[in-house]
Amino acid sequence: MFATLIKPREELTTVTENSTIQDALDIFNDSSFRAIPILDQTGNLFRGVIYKMHIYRHQANQGDMSLPVTTLMRNMTKFLSVEATFFETLFTLRDLPFISVLDKENHFMGILTHSRMMSLMAESWQTKSGRYALTVLTDGSRGSIERASKYISRYTSVSSVLSLDPDNNNRTTRLVFTLPDTVSEDTLSKIIRVLGRKGFHLESLEDFHEKSYLL
């Protein structure tokens, strides 16, 4: 994992395991947080997470607000090591607002937020320095990415490429190519024509400058 993605403990609002549900609710009422990490009394070890929605539900059911936050604790086993791989991070975080990150001694380092991970994904597709994103359907043959990249590379470099298979069918696999800012409309037209002749159907085209779909 990239350490620069982590929001460090020193910049976070946390509660300890002996904090009450009311203590956590007071924090939620004064902030826009959806969830807060729960640490042990030393502030070093991760215990779990308390969510605002669970507190509201507890309060609506006339629950005791003086109970410790551990009463409503969730995600006790949902955390990542600072040495976690990219894919491990992505798939662990996908359904959570944030994931807690632990160091090699299992001490709480901070969190990685869902929004920061999505920003990283967007950056990896070169939306800032790129101009066009072409989404093409493959013809189902082996080496489709290599062949499509080869055809595009006759005219320009490829800033990034992403393969998507939403239907689990290689004949409906999408290849999303991001082309650099230097590509002109004339060059783009040539790329689209050659891809079409070679069996790649253009499904959509996005111009990052216009922020709109052209097809």
Q: What is the CATH number of domain 3-120?
A: 3.10.580.10
DSSP conformational letter for 42: T
If one looks up domain 128-213 in CATH, what number appears?
Answer: 3.30.70.260
Average pLDDT, the chain: 89
Q: What count of other Cβ atoms lies within 10 Å of the Cβ of residue 210?
A: 10
Q: What is the pLDDT of residues 81-122, one digit of tens each?
A: 998 888 788 888 888 899 999 999 999 999 999 888 888 776
- What is the Cα–Cα distance from 51 to 202, expressed in whole angstroms? 44
Integer Cα distance of 66 and 51 in angstroms: 16
Question: What's the Rg (C-alpha) of the chain?
Answer: 23
> Six-digit token pair at 157?
């470099």
Detail the DSSP E strand segments found in 26-173. 35-39, 46-51, 79-81, 98-102, 108-113, 130-137, 160-164
Q: Looking at per-residue confidence, does 4 or 178 come out higher?
A: 178
Question: Would you kindly state where each structural domain of the chain is located, as residue ranges?
Answer: 3-120, 128-213
Confidence (pLDDT) at 60: 97
Least confident of 13-17, 63-67, 172-176, 182-186: 172-176
pLDDT in tens, 116-141: 888 877 676 656 678 899 999 987 67
